[in-house]
Amino acid sequence: MEEKHKKILQRNRTNLVRDLDPSKLCDGLLEKGVFTQDMIDEIKSSGTRRDQARQLVRDLETRGSRAFPLFLQCLRETGQHSLAEILQNGAPTAQLQPATPTQPVRPVVQPLPVSSPMDVDKQSKDAVPVYPLQRPSTTPTPSPEKENIRPRAQGRTRRDSIQSELSNRKGSNIDCDKLERRFQALNFIVEVKTNLKQRQIKHELSALSKKDHSQYDCCVVIMLSHGTDVRHNRFPGAVYGVDGQHVPVQNITNYLNGQHCPSLQGKPKLFFIQACGGGERDTGFEVSPDEVEPSIGGADDQTDAIPMSSSSDSLSMSDEPDARVTLPTPSDILVSYSTFPGYVSWRDTQSGSWYVETMDRVLEENAATEDLVRMLMMVNQEVSQNSAKGLYKQMPGSFNFLRKLLYFQTQK
């Protein structure tokens, strides 16, 4: 989109978010080729009407030079004339040249692969464990390096190399096995989903949101994948499906929030994201020797980074949110990230990711007595002392919207 048209959208953002009806525009924008079906799906899953309008305007800025005049045309066709006039009055005359008619881009939806529990270990383990579904039975893959996982993260020796393409995540199967066993020990029903495409991730989350969770106390979703930085107005970052298409973290959380999953209202909804938050590598800053145990780098650490799609949000958040008469929509949600937004997350190809390795140990040693937030602080402390190549650092963190302390049930 031309810069002059972007500025018009930005100047009128408050009016657009307040008055725009995205539900009337989606079909027209799809048929005119302004948006793809995946973009329309993302807009519809963004939350309230205001949220959808906000997402639509953001996405519109990323489209081609014909997007703005076609948007005005759609506004008029759907009876939203006042908005069209406001935008038109601030825009230079835009002439629509005849375009070759095109068919809307409609991705082919493939059915989810169905496999027996005995086939789980035969699949690559870029896993998305979700709860509460029936637990598959898996056999952990033996690894001689697992004996080296037990010592605490004090000056550990690491061998690291770096990658920036969407490739096979060596070591992810180790993370998956650890987390499956750990949450089973915490009395969760666990199901592991592997090698999901973007639309399959959305399908699984949608199916999870429609289940009756009334007999359960908590829900956990864990994503093990490559990641990147994307535009956001709530939770940063996105995770990739095996098809190279990403799902924003804020959309992942939306499936289970108080608005879209009534049977989980008032219950903790936990999201653990083992993925890069972007492509930056943190070299840290110097501290006194008393502050941290030095750690040594090596050759087997990799990152889950994919080049950043956009870390800037040119649209301000000045518009007023919708009034609420009940609990806030994102209440009782906690999102724990393996790394700070914008930065890479490190994974050892032999022993798994730093974040999962540490979290598994912290949960094992402390879940019987400590609450979740305190344990995540322990994870932050330990991971922060690791180094890759003796140079690069990693800092986990979380967005906490829980209203109470959360203790796991450790007894059967």
- How many whole angstroms separate alpha carbon 154 and alpha carbon 295? 7
What CA dihedral angle connects 115, 120, 121 and 125, to 10 degrees? 110
Q: Count the residues in the chain.
A: 412
Nearest to 190 by CA among 213, 220, 234, 170: 220
Kindly give, in sequence order, each residue whose CB lies less than 8 Å from that of residue 156, ignoring residues fewer than 6 positions away: 295, 296, 386
The strands making up 227-228's β-sheet, listed across from edge to edge, are 227-228, 238-240, 246-248
Concerning whether 81 is annotated as a catalytic residue, the answer is: no
Catalytic residue among 74, 176, 261, 276: 276
- CA proximity to 220, closest of 131, 155, 289: 131
Q: Which has the closest alpha carbon to 314: 5, 10, 8, 1?
A: 10
276 is catalytic: yes
Q: Which of 5, 213, 226, 232 is catalytic?
A: 226
Distance CA 188, CA 32 (A): 47
Give the separation between CA 94 and CA 69, rounded to whole angstroms: 6
> Alpha-carbon distance 176 to 182, whole Å?
10
End-to-end Cα spacing for the chain: 58
Query: Residues 213-250, buried b or exposed e (16+ Cβ, 10 A)?
Result: beeeebbbbbbbbbbbbbbbebbbbbbbbbeeebbbbb
What's the sign of the alpha-carbon dihedral 192, 196, 198, 199?
negative
Active site residues: 226, 276
